[in-house]
Chain A
Amino acid sequence: MRLEPRAHVPLWLNLAAPLTAIALAFLLCGLLIAWAGAPVLAAYGALVKGALGSVFALSETLTRAAPLIFTGLAAAVAFRAKLWNIGGEGQLYAGALAATYVGTGLVTLPPLLMVPFLFLVGALAGGLLLLLPVILKLKLKVDEVVTTLLLNFVVLLFANYLLFGPWKDPLAMGWPQAAPIIDEGVLSPLIPRTRLHSGLLWAVFFAVAAWAFIRYSKWGFEIRAVGNNPEAARFAGIPMGATVLRTALLSGGLAGMAGVCELAGLKGYLTLDISPGFGYTGIAVAMLAGLHPLGVIAAAIFVAAIYNGADAMSRAMSISNYLADVLTATALLLVLASVLFVRYRPRLR
């Protein structure tokens, strides 16, 4: 087989390629399910039912999708500018920490202002956290992949210290958790008797805003230019440093808001398991979405559905829910591979 470049890429192919890849991922993982000794179709049935089969299942999937949209956007925006922010997890915790600091009694505003205020504070904390590795990158050419990744552990350990020490809620019966967010700051529930909260709406709003910003704003123009061809961007006089710093604030800010979303929407108080790796999964979400902010919404819901459904499948079929990780990873790999076939036409010789 050989590959020849395509002169034009039809729209249907752009949409069909990732969907085919995902179907193929299900097919491949079917082999694993069969290997584990479960009926494949019934297992996938349980997965779909567990992810989307009822109002409750759907609400759980969407609840999980909300923070993934935020972290997915964080990765997508940064990667667009070729800024390899792997620190979404740390920025998420930074956002949650900052929101806890101001939201547990330090500041009291009416609900209409308190929620945006918490998001703003969380975004600032996440953004400022990413600023540090980015300044090191700009001034000293320190590789941001390493610094952002390692900062995750620094932030997590700092949260550990706070929750076991000064911030420990005396009313929590010894559990390492902070005092709850005041009522004015809690995100309102969307559907009664489910955990779904208005964080999802905030996430979708920011996805649309991020898309419009990247697509239509002057700064978005600069981010895209720098990401696509840094040399040409520099040559054309686009301010490189400023653009990277803005991208960092935006990306870190979005990840920080994921922390606020989980804190003020789901738990109500800060714990150490507020994120089961949303920051890392956000990278997969962004790649699945082809770094498109609107695609991030769909990709986040897809990934959330897989994880949520895999839990149900694992209960029903007694197979490991690690399959969710395998399934997402396979889908991601195949989607990335499918990009090759969108750009090139395979030819059998």
Chain B
Amino acid sequence: MAQAQASAAAATGAEPVLRLSGITKRFGALVANDAISLGLGRGEILALLGENGAGKTTLMSILFGHYLADEGEIAVFGGALPPGSPKAAIAAGVGMVHQHFTLGENLTVLDNIVLGTEPLWRLKQNRAAALRHVEDLAARFGLQVESRRLVRDLSVGERQRVEILKALYRGARVLILDEPTAVLTPQEVESFFATLKTMAAEGLSIIFISHKLNEVMAIADRVAVLRQGRLVADFPIAEASREGLAEAMVGRAVALPERSRLEPGAPLLRMEGVGLRGAEGKVSLENLDITLCEKEIFGIAGVSGNGQAALAALISGLDAPTAGRFEILGDAIAEASPGAMLKRGVGRVPEDRHATGVVGDFTVEENLVLEAYGGDRFSRFGFVKGVALRRNAEEKIAAFDIRGADATTATRSLSGGNMQKVILARVLDQKPRIILANQPTRGLDVGAAAAVQALLFQARAEGAGIVLISEDLEELLQMSDRIAVLYHGRLSAPVPVEEADLRTLGLMMAGHGTAEHSDEGRHAS
């Protein structure tokens, strides 16, 4: 490992700016970080890869001073970093950009950047100097934003640039980026990567946390892989391969499920000119046409916030259309009722596992019957059958390989992947004919995502039709039979996956679809 590091440093011709030595962190019996040693060179882009719970976030939180390490030391530019103090980390030149932005929406870009660096009573005093400095930084690192605009009017990509500028303004020379591409469209990712290259060329060192293998392959100079708290790989990107990295992350070879060719059957779900007037501030759906057939996966692409939530609410039964005709198995849907949707054979995998998918304080066995507790199988004379619940849970835990839990574990304590398996076990138990899968693999690690995809493929093979909403274009291209793009509440005409490609879909997601659609889209906005 030390050799690998040395060779990496040699390859990039960089002196080390950051060195973590023997970082260990325990939470009770869990070892989140186990004697991790890692170096970062000047102008180097290091990708930190790992599944959820591998210890990436813990490690970066220690570096940034949010957590105290039990053992180990951190040196920045040769000087020891006092542990447990974000202030000291910032002063030493470490900057962090969180996945969820921390910007004041009603403030200008400049205000957001300056806020916290100047005492509040003379926030406006050095304004001209601050503005010059920000514009210098922006020009030097290729981070174009207009300093006078309000953050609320900025796109997601622009907001991210503001976050990075914020860190740079505070003198950051080591940047930690936590899953920075999760919120960007493919085009934005491209320009973002160009910016990263510029920043590295200007001498900034960057730690890039990710679980997307091809992004890591595209941008990093060096990759470090964490697994179960341990550093299992650390080598230059030239020596890395997708398969090798996936295996290092999971600890075994991962079989990525593949879509088989199936002939679609009878139509199950039909939308004709369906519209849904959104509540204030929410996107409305307009004139949606969807036909979903048996043994078919219908992919919905789009940047989040373009009407996915409203479409999911329709199919989940949380909302009823305000215009057009919506049929499930030939019956028109006029009223919002999640229970009625269940009875019609619609299985729903919600977008937000924690908020909508499970009752966190309920046990696994209770969450597994959240949609079925009322039937004869699980209750009698108004009382829930404890024995039946337990037996069902034990079956499902075995069949769906739900780990880290028994029947009576509080569901809250499960990892994202296992929580998703609980939800899928519950949904598939009802033998649904239509499945709504809204971001089914978001935030899941490679192994868990593969398991979830395999389950969906299996349901498809058994005759179910699946509406798959995802922001991950690769997943959509891998899983869908047909794909349509949702933009500002309007859905493009679906294309067979064989005719779809990343670039066109990306353009359509950004609103540059077919002429007709982009025009309408602008109107709607």
Residue of A nearest to B29 (CB): A7
Residue of A nearest to B85 (CB): A349
* B330-385 interface with A by 8 A CB criterion: 337-342, 348, 350, 355-362, 366, 370-371, 373-374, 379, 382-384
Q: A141 CB to closest chain B CB, in angstroms? A: 14
Within 8 Å by CB of B373, from A221, A231, A235, lies: A221
**A1-37 contact mask (Cβ, 8 Å, vs B): 1 or 0:** 0101111100000000000000000000000000000
**A169-210 contact mask (Cβ, 8 Å, vs B): 1 or 0:** 000000000000000000000000000000000000000000
- The answer, yes or no, to whether A232 is at the interface (CB within 8 Å) is yes
* A215-242 interface with B by 8 A CB criterion: 216-219, 221, 224-225, 228-229, 231-239
Write 27 A-B pairs (CB below 8 A) sorted by A numbering.
A7-B27, A7-B30, A8-B28, A218-B374, A218-B382, A218-B384, A219-B382, A221-B373, A224-B359, A224-B362, A225-B359, A228-B359, A229-B355, A229-B358, A232-B357, A233-B359, A234-B338, A235-B316, A235-B356, A237-B338, A237-B339, A237-B340, A237-B341, A237-B371, A238-B339, A238-B370, A349-B68
Which 9 pairs of residues, A with B, have the shortest CB-CB distance?
A: A237-B339, A237-B338, A236-B370, A229-B359, A7-B28, A228-B359, A228-B361, A235-B356, A236-B371
Q: A237 CB to closest chain B CB, in angstroms? A: 3
- The answer, yes or no, to whether A139 is at the interface (CB within 8 Å) is no
Residue of A nearest to B68 (CB): A349
A-B contacts counted at CB < 8 A amount to 79
- The answer, yes or no, to whether B318 is at the interface (CB within 8 Å) is yes
Does A217 lie within 8 Å of B382, measured CB to CB? Answer: yes
A347 to B25, CA, bound (A): 13
Does A218 lie within 8 Å of B373, measured CB to CB? Answer: yes
Tally A residues with Cβ within 8 Å of B.
Answer: 27
Does A232 lie within 8 Å of B355, measured CB to CB? Answer: yes
Does B386 lie within 8 Å of A216, measured CB to CB? Answer: yes
Q: A129 CB to closest chain B CB, in angstroms? A: 25
**A266-299 contact mask (Cβ, 8 Å, vs B): 1 or 0:** 0000000000000000000000000000000000
Chain B residues lying within 8 Å of A2, measured Cβ to Cβ, are 68, 84
Chain A residues lying within 8 Å of B361, measured Cβ to Cβ, are 228-229
A217 to B337, CA, bound (A): 23
Chain A residues lying within 8 Å of B67, measured Cβ to Cβ, are 4
A218 to B366, CA, bound (A): 11
A229 to B362, CA, bound (A): 10
Taking each of B342, B350, B383, which has the highest tally of chain A beta carbons within 10 Å of its own beta carbon? B383
Q: B430 CB to closest chain A CB, in angstroms? A: 11
Chain A residues lying within 8 Å of B337, measured Cβ to Cβ, are 237
Looking at chain A's contact residues, the main secondary structure is mixed
For the A-B complex with A235-B316, A236-B338, A237-B371 known, give 14 more contacts whose Cβ atoms are closer than 8 Å. A7-B28, A221-B366, A229-B358, A229-B360, A231-B355, A231-B356, A232-B355, A232-B357, A233-B370, A237-B340, A237-B341, A238-B370, A345-B28, A347-B68
Chain B residues lying within 8 Å of A237, measured Cβ to Cβ, are 317, 337-342, 371
Q: A residues touching B (Cβ–Cβ < 8 Å)? A: 2, 4-8, 216-219, 221, 224-225, 228-229, 231-239, 345, 347, 349
Does A216 lie within 8 Å of B68, measured CB to CB? Answer: no
Does A235 lie within 8 Å of B68, measured CB to CB? Answer: no
Residue of B nearest to A5 (CB): B27
Residue of A nearest to B313 (CB): A235
Q: B410 CB to closest chain A CB, in angstroms? A: 10
Chain A residues lying within 8 Å of B318, measured Cβ to Cβ, are 234-235
A238 to B317, CA, bound (A): 12
Q: A344 CB to closest chain B CB, in angstroms? A: 11
Chain A residues lying within 8 Å of B341, measured Cβ to Cβ, are 237
Taking each of A5, A219, A224, A237, which has the highest tally of chain B beta carbons within 10 Å of its own beta carbon? A237
Residue of A nearest to B28 (CB): A7
Q: A188 CB to closest chain B CB, in angstroms? A: 32
Does B350 lie within 8 Å of A235, measured CB to CB? Answer: yes
Residue of B nearest to A212 (CB): B383
Chain B residues lying within 8 Å of A4, measured Cβ to Cβ, are 27, 67
Does B338 lie within 8 Å of A225, measured CB to CB? Answer: no
A234 to B370, CA, bound (A): 10
Does A228 lie within 8 Å of B339, measured CB to CB? Answer: no
Chain B residues lying within 8 Å of A225, measured Cβ to Cβ, are 359, 362, 370
Q: B299 CB to closest chain A CB, in angstroms? A: 22
